[in-house]
DNA sequence: GCTACACCTGC
DNA sequence: CAGGTGTAG
């Protein structure tokens, strides 16, 4: 059992269901199962902590790794106090107070988000699930369910891009194979990027095909220990413009139709100036709230 | 540096 | 018509 600090909020449903990870599923018992590198995990909320079991052919993942995977090392209570001064973030955190940012296996995360451009959560889940069933190792659970691990980079690198076409990846097929090749060949050492300075890790990821600023920031935030990374997509952009219109007015000429690189950088800088190293968490809550607002029509202070 | 445009698929 | 990136001007 992995404990967390007294009173620290944590929700499996909010954490695994917010769109930061694509291959994990909730079981009928309310636990969550999914791949984590070379093993499959099942996590269950218990009083005061989380119970974790693992299965697979590999060795047992260190408890500290799982602790960090679940984001339990992050002082969310303290972050809540700091971000509580920011009204929109505070409201967003009230909606999903137990949402934590995971620390995913780097390749699991890269291989998922390279599929993410101009896509949706549902579509990424289909594509990555298809690839895993086709090329991922299988790990059975006693009740008969089989977890398919994320295919290793070397496996995907050996494929012809068209082999991925049934996954519905379209023009992203060559990005998946190209990125897998770069990782398998050692052109990019994902593990070494943990602990690198943010600009260096960002530059390394931007060399991968299919990786622009948004996808790179997702990987930096969700796997590579960069809490300041702030992925800006159209939903985050809408959230910023909806809830920080006055603050942005002095930084941006106006809200254009297209999200230009210039506006993109300005929005990231805005997040850094306002939230510093908590920008990633602030982004995730605002992102989730803005998407939920669309679904539930419960927007705090909608624009126009 | 910046803006414009093509690109696969699915809901 | 969409939760972006690569490429050409």
Q: What is the pLDDT along chain A (304 residues), one digit of tens a residue?
A: 787 776 789 999 999 999 999 999 999 999 999 999 999 999 999 988 899 999 999 899 999 999 999 999 999 999 999 999 999 999 999 999 999 999 999 999 999 999 999 999 999 999 999 999 999 999 999 999 999 999 999 999 999 999 999 999 999 999 999 999 999 999 999 999 998 999 999 999 999 999 999 999 999 999 999 999 999 999 999 999 999 999 998 887 666 678 889 899 999 999 999 999 999 999 999 999 998 866 543 334 433 3
CA of A81 to C1' of B11 (A): 40
Contact A190, A184 (CB under 8 A): no
For chain A, the structural domain boundaries read 2-95, 106-222, 234-297
What nucleotide is nearest A175 when CA is compared to C1'?
C5
Q: What is the DSSP letter of A202?
A: H
Please state, in angstroms and rounded to a whole number, the distance separating the CA atoms of residues A101 and A104.
Answer: 9
- Residue A262 token pair: 């210039």
Going through A141-299 in order, the beta strands assigned E by DSSP cover 146-148
Distance of CA A43 to the CA centre of its chain: 18
Q: What's the Rg (C-alpha) of chain A?
A: 19
Region for residue A81 given its phi and psi (left: phi exceeds 0; alpha: psi -120 to 50; beta: otherwise): alpha
Q: Counting beta carbons within 10 angstroms of the beta carbon of residue A82, is it exposed (0 to 12), middle (13 to 18) or buried (19 or more)?
A: middle
CA of A175 to C1' of C4 (A): 13
| DSSP string over A165-189 | GGGT-GGGHHHHHHHHHHHHTTSS-
Pick A2-95's CATH classification: 3.40.50.1820, 3.30.70.270, 3.30.310.260, 3.40.630.10.
3.30.310.260
pTM: 0.95
From residues 204-263 of A, list those within 7 angstroms of strand B by Cβ: 258, 260-262
Question: A106-222 in CATH: which number?
Answer: 1.10.340.30
């Amino acid at each position: 059992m992995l404990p967390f600090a007294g009173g620290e909020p944590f929700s499996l449903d909010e954490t695994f269901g917010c769109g930061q990870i694509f291959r994990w599923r909730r079981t009928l018992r309310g636990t969550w199962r999914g791949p984590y590198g070379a093993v499959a995990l099942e996590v269950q909320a218990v009083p005061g902590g989380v119970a974790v079991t693992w299965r697979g052919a590999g060795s047992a993942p260190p408890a500290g790794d799982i602790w960090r995977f679940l984001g339990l090392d992050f002082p969310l209570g303290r972050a809540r106090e700091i971000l509580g001064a920011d009204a929109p973030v505070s409201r967003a955190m009230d909606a999903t107070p137990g949402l934590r940012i995971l620390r995913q296996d780097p390749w699991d995360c890269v291989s998922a988000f390279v599929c993410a451009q101009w896509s949706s959560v549902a579509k990424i889940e289909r594509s990555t699930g298809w690839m895993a069933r086709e090329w991922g190792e299988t790990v059975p659970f006693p009740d008969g369910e089989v977890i398919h691990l994320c295919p290793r980079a070397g496996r995907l690198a050996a494929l012809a891009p068209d082999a991925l076409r049934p996954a519905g990846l379209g023009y992203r097929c060559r990005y998946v194979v190209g990125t897998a090749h770069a990782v398998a060949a050692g052109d990019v050492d994902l593990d070494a990027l943990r602990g690198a300075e943010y600009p260096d890790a960002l530059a390394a990821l931007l060399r991968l095909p299919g990786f622009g600023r948004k996808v790179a920031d997702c990987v930096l935030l969700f796997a590579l220990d960069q809490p300041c990374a702030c992925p800006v997509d159209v939903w985050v952009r809408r959230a910023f413009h909806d809830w920080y219109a006055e603050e942005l007015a002095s930084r941006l000429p106006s809200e254009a139709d297209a999200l230009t690189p210039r506006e993109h950088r300005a929005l990231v800088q805005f997040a850094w100036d306002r939230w510093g190293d908590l920008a990633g968490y602030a982004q995730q809550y605002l992102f989730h709230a803005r998407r939920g607002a669309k679904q539930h029509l419960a927007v705090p202070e909608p624009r126009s």
